[in-house]
Amino acid sequence: MTTNEQGLSGERADIIELLASRRNFLRHTAQGLTDEQATTRSTKSELTVGGLIKHVSTVEQRWAEFAQGKEDAMPAEYTPEVIAAWQDQFRFVGGETLADVLAEYEKVAAATEELVRTLDLDTKYELPVAPWQPPGVFWTVRMAFLHIAAETAQHAGHADIIRETIDGQKTMG
């Protein structure tokens, strides 16, 4: 059983620790990068370190809204506008900088951690309609938080490969 610095213990402390450790891996990939490097496509993919951090922040915010039962947390329909906004999650737009994206990620993380402390983890909501998701599937709030950790870990791995290709830095190893 984990006890964190706020004295929280048990499952909630474990979830907060899991989220924090996965976020740290992702943030580490951006350490010391310039805005230009943070937006460099260093592989065949269009993904960049900065774009991945921005995307993960947006996705975390949406899943946190889902965990609060907000029906409009996820798109109800995949229109051209929704798809364009989705694509903009992966790149800096309108003068955004790495510092801006990291600052927003910190705000989102703090808000999510407060939800982990306060929401009923057993409350269930139906997953939003999506091309990859059949209707009628429900997730607990707990599962939404675990999904955020999984998504963050997956994209931290992507960012690590991109970063290593840019300048050789690795998160681990």
Per-residue confidence (pLDDT) for residue 31, from 0 to 100: 95
The two tokens of residue 23 are: 């976020």
CA dist 29 and 13 (Å) reads 25
How is residue 3 annotated by DSSP? B
User: What is the pLDDT confidence band of residue 79, given thresholds at 50, 70 and 90?
Assistant: confident
- The H or E element spanning position 150 is helix 141-167
| Interval 67-78: pLDDT, tens | 999 987 777 677
CA of residue 120 relative to chain centroid, distance: 21
Per-residue confidence (pLDDT) for residue 1, from 0 to 100: 44
Residue spans per domain, the chain: 11-167
Cα–Cα distances in angstroms (integers) from residue 50 to residues 15, 101, 114, in the given order: 25, 7, 25
Q: Per-residue pLDDT for 93 more than 50? A: yes
Per-residue confidence (pLDDT) for residue 30, from 0 to 100: 96
Record the pTM.
0.90
| Cross-strand partners of 138 | 126
- CA torsion sign for 43, 85, 153, 96 is positive
| Interval 1-55: pLDDT, tens | 444 556 677 999 999 999 999 999 999 999 999 999 999 999 898 999 999 999 9
- Return the CATH number of 11-167, one of 3.30.70.60, 1.10.8.60, 1.20.120.450, 3.30.470.20: 1.20.120.450
CA dist 100 and 78 (Å) reads 27
Q: Per-residue pLDDT for 109 more than 60? A: yes
